[in-house]
Amino acid sequence: MIIRRMEQQEKKTVTYDTVVVGGGIAGVCAAAAAAKNGSKTLLIESSTFLGGVVTMGPLEALMTQYDTERKVIGGMADELFEFIKEQDYQSGNVNDTTGYCNKIIPYQSESVKYAMLCMLNKYQVDFLLETTLVNAYVEDRVLVEIEVQTKRERITVVAKAFVDCSGSGILGYYSGCDIMFGDENGISQPVTVLTKWGNVDKQKLREYVRMHMDEFTSFNAELDLEAEFLHLWGFSRTLIEGYEAGELSLRREEMHLMESTVPGEVILNFSRLGIDPYDAFAMSKAQFDGCSQVYELFRYFQKKIPAFKDAKILQSGYVGVRESGRIKGKDVLTRQDIVSEEKRQDIVAMGAFPMDIHQQGSGMKFERVLKGYGIPAGALYAEHIKNLFMGGRCISSTFEANASCRISVTCIATGQAAGVLASEYQEKSDYESLVAKTRKVLIQQNAIIQ
C-alpha cells in the first residue's frame, strides 16, 4: 500500500456540545465535568499524552485542596485523586513540611497519566492527542467553530460552547479576546525546567538538613524530618557557595525539593529563565539552558551533599511556564478578592494556595493564603465571546491573583466550573441564570463553592 500526500488536504467536520482545548489537569477535569453533566464532549491536546506540567513537568506535588482550617476543593479533584490512588496507594494528602500550604499530594506522573485516561473513559469523553488548534471563527460574538490539525487531517470542530484550558489562552487569542500578560510592566514569571532524580539516600538527606537547619524555611513550629514525604524549601548557603565557586551559573538563594512516592526519588525546582513564553525560539533554547542548569546542580550536589553521591538523573522536564496569557473575562480575579473573604453569590470555584511570584533572577515574593477564597464565574467567562469559558491558569486574573490560582489543584476547580458553565450554556442564556444553574450542578458534582 502506498500513501501519497494529496494536493488538497483531507477535511472533515465534527460536531459536539462542548469542546475543551488543552488536556492538562484543568482541561481533563473540564471535559469530565461537562460530560458528567450530559454534554457530548471533545478534548483536544497538542501533546502525545494528557496532563501537561503534572505529567511532563515533573511537578513536585499537587497543591492544594485545603486551607489552614478545612477542605476547599472537592468534586472532580476527589474523583481524579481516587483514580490516582488506585494506581499508587501512597499518593494522598500529607502535611506540607514547609508549612507553605496545609496539605499537598506527592505522586507518580505515570499514575496520573493513566488516571486521567480512566477519568475520561468513565464519562465517555472523546479526545484527540497530537492535535493543534490553528484557527477560530467568530460570528456576532459567538465562537462558531474551530480548526484543528492532526498529522494528516484538518478538522473543523463545531460546538455549542468552548472551554480554553490551554494555559496560554490560545483559543481566546484566536477568537479575538483581550489577553492580559505579565505584570504592570509586561514582565511574566520566569520559566523553569524541573528535574527528577533517583537513588537519593533518604536518611542522609535528613541528616544533612538536620545539620544545616539555618538553610531551610518552614512556617511550621519546626521542620518535621520524620515525615514520610519531605518537602524542603532552602539549601540557601549551599546554593550561594556553589555560585560563588563557579560551580553554578545561576544564582539562587533557595530552591524546592519534594520526595515522591517512589523510594529514593525526588523532584527539584531550581532552574530559572527570564524569557518571553510566547517566543518560540527563546522557549526552544530555554530547553537547553534549563537542562544545563539542572546538570550543573546535579554535579555540584553529588560532590557537596552525601545524600546525592550515587544519585541518577531520571528526567529533565520540558520548559514549564508559570504564567503567560490570561483571557480578559466579565470579571477579573484580584489580590483583594483573595484576601477579603467576601461572600459572593457567583462563586463557582475556590482556591487556597499562596500568591507565589517567582521573580526574574534569584528573588521570590509571596503572600500566604490562610483561608480559602472564592473564584467568580465572571473570571471564567470571556468578556466579548458569548460561548467561550476558561479554566486553569489562563482565567481572567491579575498578575498577583494568578500567582495563586495557577496552581494545579485550583486548576482542577476552575476547570470543573468552566466545564459545567459550558455544558449549561444556551444561546439565550443570561449571565445570572447561567451562574445559578451552574452552581446547582457543581454542588451535585460535590464541588465546594463556599
pLDDT of amino acid 365: 84
Cα-based distances in Å from 173 to 170, 180, 198, 342: 5, 10, 40, 31
What is the band of 2 on the pLDDT scale with cuts at 50, 70, 90?
confident
Report pLDDT for 366: 85
CB 62 within 8 A of CB 104: yes
What was the pLDDT predicted at 361? Answer: 72
User: What's the distance, CA 343 to chain centroid?
Assistant: 26
Domain positions in the chain are 11-89+107-186+324-444, 192-320
Question: What was the pLDDT predicted at 57?
Answer: 84
For residue 111, the model assigns a pLDDT of: 95
Measuring CA to CA, which residue among 377, 282, 356, 328 is closest to residue 176? 328
Residue % of the chain over a pLDDT of 70: 98
Higher pLDDT residue, 435 or 152?
435
User: How would residue 10 be classed by pLDDT, with cut points 50, 70 and 90?
Assistant: low
The grid coordinates of residue 119 equal 477519568
With CA atoms as reference, report the closest residue to 388 among 347, 329, 449. Answer: 329
Q: Which of 87-101, 142-156, 290-304, 352-366 has the lowest mean pLDDT?
A: 352-366
Q: What is the pLDDT of residue 8?
A: 64
Per-residue pLDDT band for 104 (boundaries 50, 70, 90) equals very high
What pLDDT score does 344 carry?
87
Q: Which three cell numbers stand for residue 5?
A: 500526500
Q: Residues 363-388: what's their mean pLDDT?
A: 93
Beta carbons within 8 Å of 2's beta carbon, 6+ residues apart? none
Residue 354 has pLDDT above 90, yes or no: yes
Q: Work out the mean pLDDT of the chain and round it to a whole number.
A: 95
Angle between helices 280-304 and 236-244 (to 10 degrees): 100
SS3 state at 268? strand
The CATH class given to the 11-89+107-186+324-444 domain equals alpha beta
Partners of 315 in the beta sheet?
196
Does 264 score more than 90 pLDDT?
Answer: yes
Summarised one tens digit per residue, pLDDT across range 401-410 is: 999 999 999 9
pLDDT of residue 333: 97
> Which of 400, 167, 165, 151 minimizes the C-alpha distance to 283?
167
Burial classification of residue 168, based on how many CB atoms lie within 10 Å of its CB (0-12 exposed, 13-18 middle, 19 or more buried): buried
- The span from the CA of 115 to the CA of 117, in Å, is 5
Q: Are 289 and 336 in contact (CB under 8 A)?
A: no
Does 38 have pLDDT greater than 90? yes
Residue 7 has pLDDT above 70, yes or no: no
Enter the pTM of the model: 0.96
How far, in Å, CA of 297 to CA of 212, rounded? 18
**Cis before 64? omega within 30:** yes
pLDDT in the model for residue 177: 97
The angle, 0 to 180 degrees and rounded to 10, between the axes of the packed helices 431-444 and 408-424 is: 120
Cα distances (angstroms) measured from residue 192 to each of 50, 107, 233, 272, 286: 20, 20, 16, 5, 8
Mean pLDDT across the stretch 1-13?
73
User: What percentage of residues in the chain have a pLDDT greater than 90?
Assistant: 88
> Crossing angle of helices 25-36/408-424, nearest 10°?
30
Query: If we measure between CA atoms, which residue out of 57, 83, 29 comes closest to residue 322?
Result: 57
* 276-310: pLDDT as tens digits: 999 999 999 999 999 999 999 999 999 999 999 99
pLDDT of residue 172: 98
| Residues 331 and 433 sit within 8 Å (Cβ to Cβ) | no
DSSP string, 156-211: EEEEEEEEE-SSS-HHHHHTT--EEESSTTSPPPPBEEEEEEES--HHHHHHHHHH
Residue 263 banded pLDDT, cuts 50, 70, 90: very high
- Which pLDDT score is estimated for 9? 64
Q: Phi first, then psi: give them for residue 162, nearest 5 degrees.
A: -130, 150
Q: Which of 39-43, 98-102, 365-369 has the highest mean pLDDT?
A: 39-43
- What CA–CA distances, in Å, run from 248 to 190, 239, 252, 300, 361? 18, 8, 9, 8, 14
Alpha-carbon gap, residue 192 to 293, rounded angstroms = 10
Per DSSP, the three-state class of 16 is: strand
Mean local confidence (pLDDT), 255-263? 96
- Give tens-digit pLDDT for 169-216: 999 999 999 999 998 888 899 999 999 999 999 999 999 999 999 999
Specify whether the CB–CB gap between 24 and 411 falls below 8 A. yes
- Residue 335 clears pLDDT 90, i.e. is over it: yes
**Cis peptide, bond prior to residue 58, ω within 30 of zero:** yes
Degrees, nearest 5: CA angle 120-130-294: 100
- Under the banding of pLDDT at 50, 70 and 90, the label for residue 341 is confident
Give the model's pLDDT for residue 363.
73
